[in-house]
Structure 1
């Protein structure tokens, strides 16, 4: 969501929900977006992560000040390669230099976990889409050469806009849209080959905010029994699980039956849009964290731990164009928590 407005694909497909609405866990991650002119010093940011037991961070570019501040923190890092750098990094020599400069030189002190090659690149984007897979391959080969490919996984972060709206409910019918096949299917095959997960930005908030037929309790993990959604033998009591399992179904149809999903972004805003309140956001985050910690997985992947990164650490007053994009922070720029959350 950092570089583009989140997809609204789910806002229409979940109209169909209305008639039906009658592993070991691991550290929680939080995304660090820096598009604000009132944010605190990066070293204080890292202290705030540590004091709140936030064990994973996603950063959206190889900012060397941020990477240096992470040294010795024991915080696991998802490092993004911005989309405007993808074409350059299709070069094997450029990818090798990038890995040496930002990763290999710090790997003894920084716990790199994932490299996200592009964020929410649309399959129809002629400037960036053709270069996602070649850049992934070049970065992976550079990690192999550095003997880091087992430790650091290469992937790309997608949003739900790649799904086919006509085949996204019930969840087991999930499929990527036809226009995305040539883009996503080779990526899925590559992820399966190198045993890496697919990164996915999943926002029940936008499905709810853009479709009056999506029920708020269902989006907030608060559905009563009569509000559960049934898909054959599978039962869904929240929209988050339904969206994740729709992606799993699409992966299976694209040859990625063994590819797992890491939720690289999810969140709920506290202002600026329909249903964007402190109360609703706090409910979403607390219920999501409880769901993740329960180790139940999703109905389609029961017992499989859900790895999740919350979006985002702070409100970002320079985000846009929608006002709501400025209000996803878990903390105010003065380090005050908006919600009482337990990240342990």
Structure 2
């Protein structure tokens, strides 16, 4: 009888744990509406159309979410009053000033550079820095204090709940990403990552990640097939009884497992950049770009989620609105992520509606 009671209690506890897991997943998605699909509006180019024409292009294609990488006055003024929701970047080079200044100084910066040009109701996110920890490590020490000063300034303005603060990270912040359940942050970065995760958890803000299966394919041909990167693989990879059919899901879930490993299992993920180039390297091409981005849009709008978080829509910003001929990385494909030509014609027939 004692054994039977123990088994019954164990079953009860297992069922209760399952209920809590389900509730935790459901709480990550605040509504049944589709997760939004946005587009990155990079401006490192000499031939871009006027911002007024860009606004018309966005509206005519049903694009109502945009990421801009810095608070460009011309762009912000053009978006004002359009209803388009923005993720606005706080450039890496501004971080020391914000970190070393006062909350009042951050408040003045926000009002002068953003809110004097566009209503706060159109600002959904502030992306503080971009890929700082890996690609711009000299700014690492300034990231958390800059975020905290900006948060306190938003709080003084009564905007801390409406405008979420985070910082986009490259996948390289993970020391382990395969299989996804092995996902772990680089130990050298945890002194920064863990306090940041604590902030994101306490403020109900997302972890921002830049996800590029194209890079995984180009750099790891022997491990990542083109079909797996493009959502076209018929093969299934099993990890802890979860089925993975594409690199996009696997990368996001590696971040989820990494956060879980640090004690933060419920922070949502926003993909701040993802895309596929139409030219400039192995695997590049309009057909592949269409396959990749169309699948991302369909999965996002369908709230498909990932194997680790099924049914929880992942908000995504596709890179890039236009080709950027001013890119100086020395890598040719960096210039060819544009979904539209500068004449407004689509590079391939993708729909956002």
Same fold (TM over 0.5): yes
Shift of 1:109: 7.1
Runs ≥4 in structure 1, deviation > 6 angstroms?
A: none
Runs of 5+ consecutive residues of structure 1 not aligned to the other structure: 1-22
Matched residue of 2:294: which SS? helix
Match of 2:273 among 265, 268, 271: 265
Residue 291 of structure 2: aligned partner: 283
Query: Which of these residues, 240, 256, 271, is aligned with residue 264 of structure 2?
Result: 256
TM-score (norm 1): 0.89
Aligned position for 2:341: 332
2:113 is the alignment partner of 1:111: no
The CA deviation string for residues 27-84 of structure 1, in whole angstroms up to 9 with x for no partner, is: 3100000111111001111111111001100001111111100011111100000001
Alignment partners' CA distance in 2, 1:243 and 1:25: 21
Conservation of the 8 A alpha-carbon contact between 2:80 and 2:118: no
Corresponding residue for residue 35 of structure 1:
44
Contact kept in structure 2, 1:185 and 1:255, CA below 8 Å: no
Give the match for residue 208 of structure 1: 217
Instruction: Measure, in 2, the Cα distance between the counterparts of 1:144 and 1:110.
Output: 15
Query: SS state of the match for residue 208, structure 2?
Result: strand
* SS of equivalent residue, structure 2 residue 129: strand
Match of 1:88 in 2: 97
Matches within 5 A, 1:1-344: 23-90=32-99, 91=101, 92-106=103-117, 108=119, 111-122=122-133, 125-164=136-175, 167-213=176-222, 214-224=224-234, 227-319=235-327, 320-344=329-353
Q: Which has the higher helix share?
A: 2
Whether the 8 Å CA contact 1:241–1:299 is kept in 2: the answer is: yes
TM-superposition CA deviations, 1:136-190 (whole Å, max 9, x none): 00001000000011110011010101001xx321101100011111121111111
Q: 1:311 to 1:125 in 2, by over 3 A?
A: closer
Higher normalized contact order (CA 8 Å, seq sep 6+, divided by chain length)? 1
* 2:39–2:65 CA contact under 8 A, matched in 1: yes
**What CA RMSD, in Å, does the superposition of the two structures yield over aligned residues?**
1.4
Specify the structure having the higher radius of gyration (Cα).
2
Q: Is contact 1:123–1:183 with CA below 8 Å preserved after alignment?
A: no
1:18 match: none
